[in-house]
Amino acid sequence: MIEKKSVVVQISTYTFRAECRHDVLQFLALPETASLKKIIITPDPTFPDVEVEIETELAFKDVINALNLIEDGHIMVETLEEVRASRTL
């Protein structure tokens, strides 16, 4: 008989604002974002800004570290928030 082991994965949801879609695409190109489970990009109807929501296994500090790798990513770093309690899968 094969024994199955369960793995607990912590998923967190974060939101941030970016000055433009290009900044988000730079973020998504990073190897650190391979653990993203979901991303929603909502454009601002008036400005090039976008609102972003992600679900990921990354901890808050790891998301900050990844965003800090983006040239001109300071707006994303400054606006990053965890939007609801983490859930376990």
Has residue 5 been placed in a domain?
Answer: no
Average pLDDT over residues 52-63: 96
Has residue 3 been placed in a domain?
Answer: no
Distance CA 15, CA 31 (A): 19
pLDDT at 6 over 90: no
Has residue 2 been placed in a domain?
Answer: no
- Work out how many domains the chain is built from and give that number: 1
Q: What is the structure's pLDDT at 20? A: 94
Has residue 4 been placed in a domain?
Answer: no
Has residue 56 been placed in a domain?
Answer: yes
Average pLDDT over residues 3-10: 74
The continuous run of DSSP H or E covering 64 comes out as helix 60-67
Supply the CATH number for residue 54's domain. 3.30.70.260
Amino acid, res. 6: S
Average pLDDT over residues 55-76: 95
Structural domain range at position 55: 10-88
Has residue 70 been placed in a domain?
Answer: yes
Whole-structure pTM value: 0.83
Who wins on pLDDT, 47 or 87? 47
